[in-house]
Amino acid sequence: MKVLILFAHPAFHKSKVNKLMVEGLSEIKGITFHDLYQEYPETDIDVKHEQKLLTEHDVIIFQFPVFWYSTPSILKEWQDLVLEHGWAFGSKGNELKGKLFLCSVTAGGPKSAYQVGSYHNHTINQLLSPLRQTSVLCKMNPLPPFVVHGSHAIEEYEIQTHKNELLKLLAEFTNNNFSYADAIKYDYLNDYINKQ
């Protein structure tokens, strides 16, 4: 399977976690790494180009830091413009049908804070549900998210551990040994990959 990583970080020069998470991904065979803020500094998204990229890949990944319980703004703009009626959804919109979709996110809050009744009072899966449902409407098959929690206080070696998990996951996609049926049993893809 071919993987498209749509990356969004509006202040990449300040990034610690995503910098390491995405380093070298563009050099891996079978992966297209697409940095939206770098490609579109004026947010002038080329819809036809983005749609072409989508059709050329089997796994679509949104990689981003969680900002205000959501995505950085360019990813919203991207959805609003690229996922057109009659192309991505609607009775004649079948271009994304059957592709896998997932979010790979970094969040300042620790996992313990992302529980009902805890500091953020919602799970990451609850907060990401609009993206998940968007993928369903576009006839894609959504996967649980891959999450790096506690990014404010995280040590370099811990980021590297998560990077290794992400690389293992990406290798399953590109080597065609990813199990969709197993993966959807988990809340986080991190747990799926650590059980392999």
Ligand X SMILES: Cc1cc2nc3c(=O)[nH]c(=O)nc-3n(C[C@H](O)[C@H](O)[C@H](O)COP(=O)(O)O)c2cc1C
What are the residues binding ligand X (CB under 6 A)?
9, 15-18, 65-69, 106-109, 151
Q: CB 83 → ligand X: shortest distance, Å?
A: 23
Q: Are 64 and 8 in contact (CB under 8 A)?
A: yes
Name the DSSP letter for residue 10.
T
Give whichever of 19 and 97 is closer to ligand X, judged by the CB atom.
19
Which residues are CB-contacts of 153 (< 8 A; sequence separation ≥ 6)? none
How far apart are the C-alpha atoms of 150 and 120, rounded to whole Å? 13
Q: Which is nearer to ligand X, 99 or 162 (CB)?
A: 162
Q: Which run of H or of E encompasses 194?
A: helix 189-195
At a CB cut-off of 8 Å and minimum separation 6, what does 146 contact?
102, 103, 104, 105, 165, 166, 169, 188, 189, 190, 193
Query: Closest separation between CB of residue 156 and ligand X, Å?
Result: 11
Smallest distance from ligand X to CB 143, Å: 20
Minimum distance of ligand X from residue 117's CB (angstroms) = 17
CA atoms within 13 A on the CB side of 30: 13
Q: What are the backbone dihedrals phi and psi of residue 22, each rounded to the nearest 5 degrees, phi first?
A: -100, -10
Of 30 and 150, CB closest to ligand X = 150
Q: Which is nearer to ligand X, 17 or 31 (CB)?
A: 17
The whole-angstrom separation of Cα 184 and Cα 196 is 14
Q: Decide whether 161 or 174 has the Cβ nearer to ligand X.
A: 161
CB of 90 to ligand X, least distance (A): 32
